[in-house]
Structure 1
């Protein structure tokens, strides 16, 4: 793995908060559309077990459980202090590994503070982040918060955790994670490292057609042509969900940007205009070519991510561009749909020369409210979560790579070994163009991509609205430090 210091672009974050809020679900459902507040008050020493039937379920775990957790040693066992500690999150739903995660945390925390209660303040989806910002502003934020985006740290909302014992255990990727580090300090735990995305493919279809995993753009085009000729859809898209378009376009641009690593800085400084850059244009031209040759599903812009996932699971489509949750989502879709099982493979999106840049960063970050009245208790909770017994199963369920030197993850699907190999053989970037442009400009770029995929011929002048949005909203951008 070659870490490229492209000014700390958070590749996973560039997919917007909606990606993890909706795409992270291994059940293939779009959780990002949910805004339900599922706050629960959970006793960490209750003897009642949760059924885990819904995201708002109360997960009560006995403090007598035998799970051993050495992640925290700051608090003495037998501390009889009574308090309720609040934990905020947007993703803790009823998936089995999420339910187990909460139970494991409660069990371990009960050993430190037998009379404490953990209150899980869960708001599913992107609505959580708006609520969290308002809570920080009003002084009512949870004591411990899961978050996305380094702005929470830069704004002074999160406690500096640089002196905590788990910091020294972070691996290279964890140490360079964009959203948990700022100004030379560590503000949060990267709960595993996620790839920004890539191509997942049906190994049976590839094998039957004698196709090897493509290593260049041309090889991808050649593979798509063989698949189309066989009567299958080469690549299924669900561009009704715009974040899927973002995931595809900007991950592909990452690899092309290796030919100009300072593109983001150039655009931000005004040295390079969005509508005049050849690399930005090249990716649109790739999409235009694939559309013209019929390599996408005809309903690409009218179906969403779950529907495109169903197309892939059914065997109708040979490839899908998605994030690290795809193995779990595909297995679930196959089971629910009654489709024939197949093994999936993975390869990253390369440029014309076969160069690959892969985004790597934390999907969920975990920090402490800088103004909590339970500072030590909050640090203890965060510390125990970093123990292998708790965080390794979480990473496995999340489809994430480890962010710690002493934590290994045993995956059910061997395709994750392909993912790790791809990371090891790629230039890993921790940022991309979206970190240097306002959201309005990125939206303009994705709107144009949708038009191209619908059949409109690409014209570089159609990128001028993106440049205009950049000029208008540049002040809203906080670019990564060079």
Structure 2
């Protein structure tokens, strides 16, 4: 894995794709990341409010915790805030494991899980920070929270030295050279998932260049299948596809985003950006997409893939679990899925990588040591490894391995290992309004309108108008 351009990924990778996904559907699969979504914000779509107090009356061995205090008889209730802890088996087991391990440290303590569905959680958390009523231990997303002053500095905690190189550079959990949160696993920004049976039947190997992707799509279309299913009614899916492909093309032009931000390059004039649009135009003209690509949403495109009608879908790491769920609910024939990243013309690949959920401690908690102890035990392998596996996340700790139910996740790891890994991307340098303009242009192309670089002038105008709203990635 070649590390390049480490900076604030969370606001783009997580909040734009992950949260949008969960908020748009109720099928978030085995990983659902989020309110992201069946998509990388874990299963908020199915998460109900669970604010009851769980009594820690079980005793479990916490063999991974270091510097843990001896058990004491202090009685207290510690609150843990989250937006994604629902009733999926691995989530239920996670809470049970945490409660039992914490009981070993504090037998008379109670953990109160303050779970609020989706984006509402973040609105509530903001208000709680302002009023001084936030939970003691906080699951969160967003680099802005790490830099807000609302979280305690955890740089001296024993688990910090166990973080992987990628996790140490995660901008959602680090700010100003300090560590404010635990990366609960690292997630990719997306890629291509494919039906292995269809590929095998047609003697297709995973494409390693853009042309090989087009060639594969030709064979699939000739067989009567839809090569790639899109659910562009959910705009975050369009953003995922576009940015993943653009990332690989910008390897040879790594300062493109900053150059556009600085005014050195105009969005409408850049050949690299135009290339991705013309790729989509070519795919549309050749009939590689489903005809209803802009009128169906992510769950519908997922069902189309699960049914075997389409051979490929561009989605995040939650796709293996979501596909199993779709097959079961739809009564479709089972098939294995594989993964490959979107490559440039010459086979170069860049992938985004960052934490999905982060875990921190309220800087104003009256239970500071107790909160740090809780966070510390959550980082132990017995507790966090099953969580990462269920989440479809790559490990963020050097001493924690993850065994996935679906071997396709091993292909994800291999893809990351063989790519240039980014934690910021071109759109990190654009205001939301400009990104929306660019996606509107993409939607037009996918609907059948010929690409016109002049259409991107709207994005340039939005950049110039709203430039002050951009929070630049760290250099």
Name the TM-score class by shorter chain: over 0.9
Is the partner of 2:52 in helix, strand or coil?
A: strand
What residue in structure 2 maps to residue 419 of structure 1?
Answer: 412
Match of 2:388 among 391, 395, 400: 395
Match of 2:52 among 41, 56, 59: 41
Task: Determine if contact 1:233/1:318 at 8 Å carries over to the other structure.
Answer: yes
Task: Determine if contact 1:181/1:188 at 8 Å carries over to the other structure.
Answer: yes
Task: Determine if contact 2:47/2:84 at 8 Å carries over to the other structure.
Answer: no
- Measure, in 1, the Cα distance between the counterparts of 2:3 and 2:454: 34
- Measure, in 2, the Cα distance between the counterparts of 1:475 and 1:17: 25
> Does 2:77 align with 1:76?
no
For each residue in 1:392-439, what CA deviation from the matched residue of structure 2 results, as whole angstroms up to 9, or x when unmatched? Answer: 000000111101000000112111111111111111111112221111
TM-score (norm 1): 0.92
Match of 1:362 among 355, 361, 383: 355
For each residue in 1:199-227, what CA deviation from the matched residue of structure 2 results, as whole angstroms up to 9, or x when unmatched? Answer: 00001100111111000111101111110
- Measure, in 2, the Cα distance between the counterparts of 1:133 and 1:276: 40
Task: Determine if contact 1:85/1:117 at 8 Å carries over to the other structure.
Answer: yes
Alpha carbon RMSD of aligned pairs, Å? 2.0
Q: Structure 1 residues 282, 161: CA separation in 2 closer, same or farther (over 3 Å shift)?
A: same
What residue in structure 1 maps to residue 275 of structure 2?
Answer: 282
Which range is displaced more, 463-472 or 183-192? 463-472
Task: Determine if contact 1:157/1:371 at 8 Å carries over to the other structure.
Answer: yes
Task: Determine if contact 1:7/1:481 at 8 Å carries over to the other structure.
Answer: yes
Is the partner of 2:117 in helix, strand or coil?
A: coil
For each residue in 1:90-148, what CA deviation from the matched residue of structure 2 results, as whole angstroms up to 9, or x when unmatched? Answer: 11112111111111111111111122121112122222222222221222221111111
What residue in structure 2 maps to residue 49 of structure 1?
Answer: none
For each residue in 1:442-463, what CA deviation from the matched residue of structure 2 results, as whole angstroms up to 9, or x when unmatched? Answer: 1221122122211122111111
Match of 2:125 among 111, 127, 132: 132
> Does 2:114 align with 1:146?
no
- Measure, in 2, the Cα distance between the counterparts of 1:310 and 1:378: 42
What residue in structure 1 maps to residue 366 of structure 2?
Answer: 373
What residue in structure 2 maps to residue 98 of structure 1?
Answer: 91
Match of 1:258 among 238, 251, 263: 251
What residue in structure 1 maps to residue 216 of structure 2?
Answer: 223
- Measure, in 2, the Cα distance between the counterparts of 1:237 and 1:466: 23
- Measure, in 2, the Cα distance between the counterparts of 1:234 and 1:35: 31
Match of 1:459 among 427, 452, 456: 452
What residue in structure 2 maps to residue 25 of structure 1?
Answer: 28
What residue in structure 2 maps to residue 50 of structure 1?
Answer: none
What residue in structure 2 maps to residue 237 of structure 1?
Answer: 230
> Does 2:191 align with 1:195?
no
- Measure, in 2, the Cα distance between the counterparts of 1:322 and 1:63: 39
- Measure, in 1, the Cα distance between the counterparts of 2:347 and 2:168: 28
- Measure, in 2, the Cα distance between the counterparts of 1:314 and 1:407: 35
What residue in structure 2 maps to residue 306 of structure 1?
Answer: 299
Aligned length: 464
What residue in structure 2 maps to residue 114 of structure 1?
Answer: 107
For each residue in 1:61-106, what CA deviation from the matched residue of structure 2 results, as whole angstroms up to 9, or x when unmatched? Answer: x423x454432543321x2222221111111112111111111111
Structure 1 stretches of 4+ with a deviation exceeding 4 A read: 27-37
- Measure, in 2, the Cα distance between the counterparts of 1:402 and 1:255: 23
Q: Structure 1 residues 20, 88: CA separation in 2 closer, same or farther (over 3 Å shift)?
A: farther
Is the partner of 2:80 in helix, strand or coil?
A: strand
- Measure, in 2, the Cα distance between the counterparts of 1:2 and 1:439: 29
What residue in structure 1 maps to residue 14 of structure 2?
Answer: 13
What residue in structure 2 maps to residue 63 of structure 1?
Answer: 58
Task: Determine if contact 1:36/1:123 at 8 Å carries over to the other structure.
Answer: yes
- Measure, in 2, the Cα distance between the counterparts of 1:88 and 1:310: 32
- Measure, in 1, the Cα distance between the counterparts of 2:269 and 2:122: 34
Is the partner of 1:40 in helix, strand or coil?
A: coil
- Measure, in 2, the Cα distance between the counterparts of 1:261 and 1:437: 15
Q: Which runs of 5+ in 1 are unaligned?
A: 46-61
- Measure, in 1, the Cα distance between the counterparts of 2:261 and 2:113: 40
Is the partner of 1:5 in helix, strand or coil?
A: coil
What residue in structure 2 maps to residue 48 of structure 1?
Answer: none
